[in-house]
């Protein structure tokens, strides 16, 4: 036997009435997405209520843009590995081949580079 599914206006249902909804409206507020089933009349009421905020808001599309890490050239890391070894801080590699730099070594190496511009000697 076939069953008929009826979507009821959520606002009217709270008042105990079962009026068929014409629309399912979704909106996001404060990071939470809501879905409300409503009649044409309630949709117009809702749109009128939020219109000043929508008109003043900046439109976004989904998630905020991802920030990509600024990657240094391979030569930088090669120099850093050599500098660490020369300064008694040999580096360990993990299973994927990535190096584990001791705390503060990148900053110290950057400081070293700033003081030795043009000097290739370690």
Give me the pLDDT at residue 21, please: 83
The model's pTM is 0.44
d(CA 109, CA 89): 12
pLDDT in tens, 22-46: 888 888 888 888 988 888 999 999 9
d(CA 104, CA 109): 9
**3-class SS of residue 53:** helix
**3-class SS of residue 25:** strand
Stated as kind and residue range, the H or E segment containing 34 is strand 32-38
Mean pLDDT of 2-10: 76
Q: Give the CATH fold of the 10-56 domain.
A: Wheat Germ Agglutinin (Isolectin 2); domain 1 (3.30.60)
Nearest to 49 by CA among 87, 83, 11: 11
């Amino acid at each position: 036997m076939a069953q008929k599914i009826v979507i009821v206006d959520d606002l009217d249902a709270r008042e105990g009435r079962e009026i068929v909804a014409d629309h399912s409206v979704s909106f996001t507020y404060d990071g939470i997405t809501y879905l409300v089933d409503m009649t044409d009349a309630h949709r117009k009421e809702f749109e009128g209520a939020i219109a000043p905020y929508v008109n003043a808001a900046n439109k976004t599309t989904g998630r905020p843009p991802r920030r990509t890490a600024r990657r240094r050239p391979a030569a930088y890391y090669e120099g850093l590995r050599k500098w660490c070894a020369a300064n008694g801080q040999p580096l360990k590699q993990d299973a994927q081949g990535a190096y584990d730099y001791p705390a503060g070594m990148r900053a110290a190496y950057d400081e070293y580079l700033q003081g030795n511009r043009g000097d290739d000697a370690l």
